[in-house]
Amino acid sequence: MISQKQFETELQLLIANAIREDVGDGDHSSLACIPETAQGKAKLLVKDNGIIAGVAFAKMIFNYVDPELVVETFIEDGAAVKYGDIVFHVSGSSQSILKAERMVLNSMQRMSAIATKTNSYVKLLEGTQTKVLDTRKTTPGFRVAEKWAVTLGGGENHRFALYDMIMLKDNHIDFAGGISLAIAKTKAYLKETNRDLKIIVEARDLTEVKEILEAGGVYRILLDNFDYKMTKEAVQIIGDKCLTESSGNINEETIRHYADCGVNYISSGALTHSIYNMDLSLKAI
């Protein structure tokens, strides 16, 4: 996974680009009618139920826009919220608050929805040893915040991007000439380039599971679109030789059944690509 330093760098790049995109050469609506010296205060109002996420990120955004803005926090990231809750107050330059408003809301609404969805999956797995994972099916340019939201909801991050883990999926395997060749070439590549990256290999059936185990050196086997019976058989075959992950056909109705098959992880793209934003508002006080 990426380091804390790289994580923070990604967040700063995200903020800088989003503010550039939204503000351009100036927030002319505010500049036109609000004096530069005007001071104001606003509250982050919850108009939905779920898990709040993005409070710390909002503070980063406000600080980027204007270090003089002051945020008073009442509810922290990862907490359950309900309609009518006030998460924080922000006070300072009225122009600065309005300049940051849209990015704060866009970010927190999406992050909170992701955290809420993730938390619902985590609760469905209570009593099992299975962990919920995200995927790379994220919004371009906003991945670091979305993956952060997954952790705030109680899930765990899969690889961050293409560079921090080897993941051999069906197309890699087919282009490489088969599982054994793909794994052998990967091991050679890692040795030649002096890289220490974990290897995950996707299996499409039990025959491929056995072939992956024969090749060895794999951190985790991804059981892609296996039914419950095949998943149980695969878990028995794999034993403690490596970790297991179920993927495909994961939803609220199926996730517990896959966990009961004994897999270590269940990954779901729906955590980040199929969610509805939480309703939040930033209202002047």
Residue 230 sits at the vertex; the CA angle it makes with 170 and 168, to the nearest 5 degrees, is: 20
> Based on the domain organization, do 268 and 139 belong to the same domain?
yes
> Based on the domain organization, do 132 and 75 belong to the same domain?
no
Higher pLDDT, 1 or 97: 97
**Position 86: which residue type?**
I
**Sheet harboring 280-284: ordered strands across?**
70-73, 86-93, 39-46, 280-284
Cα(first)–Cα(last) distance of the chain, in Å? 41
> Based on the domain organization, do 229 and 253 belong to the same domain?
yes
For the record, the structure tokens of 117 come out as 């969805």
Annotated catalytic residue: which of 85, 101, 134, 202? Answer: 202
Annotated catalytic residue: which of 41, 43, 137, 204? Answer: 137
Question: What is the C-alpha separation between 95 and 134, in angstroms, rounded?
Answer: 37
> Based on the domain organization, do 150 and 223 belong to the same domain?
yes
Does residue 58 register a pLDDT over 80?
A: yes
Question: What is the C-alpha separation between 42 and 29, in angstroms, rounded?
Answer: 18
Extract the runs of DSSP E, i.e. beta strands, from the chain.
39-46, 50-51, 70-73, 80-81, 86-93, 131-133, 166-168, 199-203, 220-224, 243-247, 265-267, 280-284
Does residue 165 register a pLDDT over 80?
A: yes
22 is catalytic: no
Question: What is the C-alpha separation between 93 and 267, in angstroms, rounded?
Answer: 43
164 is catalytic: no
> Based on the domain organization, do 262 and 128 belong to the same domain?
yes
Annotated catalytic residue: which of 169, 185, 198, 210? Answer: 169
> Based on the domain organization, do 234 and 131 belong to the same domain?
yes
> Based on the domain organization, do 163 and 241 belong to the same domain?
yes
Burial label for 126, CB within 10 Å (0-12, 13-18, 19+), is exposed
Per residue in 173-206, pLDDT tens? 999 999 999 999 999 999 999 999 999 999 999 9
Main-chain dihedrals φ then ψ at residue 229, nearest 5 degrees = -60, -45
The pLDDT value given to residue 65: 98
The pLDDT value given to residue 2: 80
The CATH number assigned to the domain holding 192 equals 3.20.20.70
How does residue 3 score in pLDDT terms, banded at 50, 70 and 90? Answer: confident
Place of tokens 């296996």: 226
191 is catalytic: no
Annotated catalytic residue: which of 41, 43, 102, 136? Answer: 102
For the record, the structure tokens of 255 come out as 């996730």
> Based on the domain organization, do 156 and 238 belong to the same domain?
yes
- Domain extent, residue 235, equals 123-273
224 is catalytic: yes
102 is catalytic: yes
The CATH number assigned to the domain holding 97 equals 3.90.1170.20
Query: How many structural domains are present in the chain?
Result: 2
DSSP label at residue 241:
S
> Based on the domain organization, do 210 and 112 belong to the same domain?
no
> Based on the domain organization, do 84 and 133 belong to the same domain?
no
**Position 235: which residue type?**
V
The pLDDT value given to residue 178: 95
The pLDDT value given to residue 145: 97
> Based on the domain organization, do 161 and 262 belong to the same domain?
yes
How does residue 108 score in pLDDT terms, banded at 50, 70 and 90? Answer: very high
Place of tokens 């051999």: 168
Question: What is the C-alpha separation between 257 and 212, in angstroms, rounded?
Answer: 24
> Based on the domain organization, do 201 and 230 belong to the same domain?
yes
Per residue in 131-162, pLDDT tens? 999 999 999 999 999 999 999 999 999 999 99
